Structure 1
Amino acid sequence: MFDKNDFKVFDDMTLSGRLNLIKLNLDPKFEDFGAELMQRLEKEYQQQFYMKIAKHQRRTKNPPPDTWLAINQDKKGYKKTPHLEFGLWPDCYFITFSLLADIRNRSDYYPILKKYQQQIEKEGWGVSNDHTSSILKPSTELGEVIDHYQRVKSSDLVIGFELKSDDPIVNSANYDELLADKFLKLSKYLVLFNQEISKL
C-alpha cells in the first residue's frame, strides 16, 4: 500500500496542487489503512473508535506541511480528546498519541502521564511538546516533556514513532505491517488514558 512515492505530494508547493495530490494519492490509502486499523482496534479492545481524515479545509494560502488520519473514542471530535494519528511529514511517516494544548479537563491527565511515564520510557517511544513539528525527542526526555506540558498551557504532549523517508525499509516498499504494528502498540495508551479518565 505505502511506498516512497507517497512523499511526492510535498513536491508541489502550491495549495491547490498539494491538496489535489493528497486527495488523489494519499486519502484513498488512508481510507483503506484506517479501516483496517479500526477493525483491528475494535477486535482487540471490544470498544468503539472513530476515524477522521484531514481535509485541510481551513487552508486558504499555504499548502499543508503534513497530512494524517486520526482515531479516537469520542464521536464529537478528536482534537479535545486523547487521540492517535497516522500520517506523513515531507521526511517521514509518523504515528502519534497526543494530548493537545486545549484538551478537555487537561489537568486530569497530569497524574495519568506520571503513572505511565516509566512504561512509555521503557518502550522507547519518541516524545514532544509540539504536534506541529516532526521532531521527536528520545524517550529519556519524557519527564521534561511532561513537566513542560504541566507548566506551559500552550504546549502539547506527543508520544510516537517515526519512519524516515530515507530508511532502507521504505525503499523496500514492504512496511505496511510495521506501521500497523506500531499504531496498535501505541493504541493501548489511548484506551488506558480514557479508562483512567472515566474513573474520575
Structure 2
Amino acid sequence: MTVPGLEGRMEAIIGTVRPKLDALGSDLSPVLAGLCGESMTAHVAKHARRSVNPPADTWVAWSRNPRGYKGHPHFQIGIWPTHVFVQFAIIYECPDKTVFAERALRELSSVRSAVPADYVWSKDHTVPEGTPHGSLSDAELADWLRRLQTVKAAEITCGIHIPQGDPLLSNGRAFLRKAQDTFETLLPLYRMASSQ
C-alpha cells in the first residue's frame, strides 16, 4: 500500500493483495453464513472509480446482498500501510444504520460488555485511526451512536487492528482463526443492525 502513483499501486494490489482478499472471501463466506444464519457474499474492492489518487487501503467485505455491501451492515478484512483490520461496519449508504443506533443505544450495557477493551471503534472508515473500546466512556459511545442515528453522512466501525509485522499475519491458518473469532465477537452488533 506504499507503492507510489495510481497505476503502480493498483498493479501491486491486483498482483499481490487482491488474490489474498479473494481467498479470504472464499474461505470465510461459509463461516460467516453459519454465524449469521444467512448467505453471505464476499465483495473485493475494485477501486474502479479512481482516476488520480491511489487507494490508501483495500479490503474484502461480506454482506447478505450478492450485489453489494455498502447499503448493508457488513464485515470486512482490509489493509492499511500500518495494519490489517477485521471489523463490523455500517457506512453512510446503509439505511439500517438508524435501526442499529437505536438498538445499540437501548442496549448500551450489552454493547459495552460484548466488545473487548482492545477492539477499536471508528466514525470514519476512510481513516486508519480509531478509538479503543476501553478508552471510550458510555457517554462518548452513546454520542457516537446518536450521531449515527441523526447525521446522514455518519458511519461506524468496530473491530481489531493487527499491526504490520505481527507474526499472526504470516500464519494463514492462525489469521483465519483470529478473523473467525473476531467475527463471532462482533456478531451481536451485526444482529442489532440486521434484525427488523
Q: Normalising to structure 1: TM-score of the pair?
A: 0.82
Residues 62-73 of structure 1: pairs in structure 2 closer than 5 A: 62-73=53-64
Relative to structure 1, the CA distance from residue 23 to residue 182 in structure 2 (aligned partners, 3 Å threshold; closer, same or farther) is: same
Computed over aligned residues only, the root mean square deviation of the Cα atoms, in angstroms, reads 2.1
Mapped to 2, the partners of 1:193 and 1:151 lie a distance apart of: 16
Q: Which runs of 4+ in 1 moved over 6 A?
A: none
Q: Normalising to structure 2: TM-score of the pair?
A: 0.83
Query: Is 1:97 matched with 2:66?
Result: no
- Equivalent residue for 2:10? 19
Report how far residue 86 of structure 1 moved: 0.6
1:160–1:186 contact (8 Å) kept in structure 2: yes
Query: Is 1:126 matched with 2:117?
Result: no
- What is the aligned counterpart of 1:173 among 170, 174, 182? 170
Mapped to 2, the partners of 1:59 and 1:133 lie a distance apart of: 17
Larger mean Cα displacement after TM superposition, 92-101 or 54-63:
92-101
Mapped to 2, the partners of 1:44 and 1:102 lie a distance apart of: 24
Deviation string 1:170-197 (CA, Å, 9 cap, x unpaired) is 5x72341223322343244324421x22
- 1:16 aligned counterpart, secondary structure: helix
- Equivalent residue for 1:42? 33
Report how far residue 116 of structure 1 moved: 4.1
The gaps in structure 1 that reach 5 residues or longer are 1-9
1:72–1:190 contact (8 Å) kept in structure 2: no
Letter in structure 2 aligned against 1:57:
A
Deviation string 1:73-95 (CA, Å, 9 cap, x unpaired) is 12232111111111001100011
Query: Equivalent pairs: percent with the same residue?
Result: 25
1:96–1:161 contact (8 Å) kept in structure 2: yes
- What is the aligned counterpart of 1:138 among 132, 136, 158? 132
Relative to structure 1, the CA distance from residue 18 to residue 40 in structure 2 (aligned partners, 3 Å threshold; closer, same or farther) is: same
Mapped to 1, the partners of 2:179 and 2:100 lie a distance apart of: 27
Mapped to 1, the partners of 2:145 and 2:13 lie a distance apart of: 33
The gaps in structure 2 that reach 5 residues or longer are none
Report how far residue 166 of structure 1 moved: 4.3
Alignment: residue pair count: 185
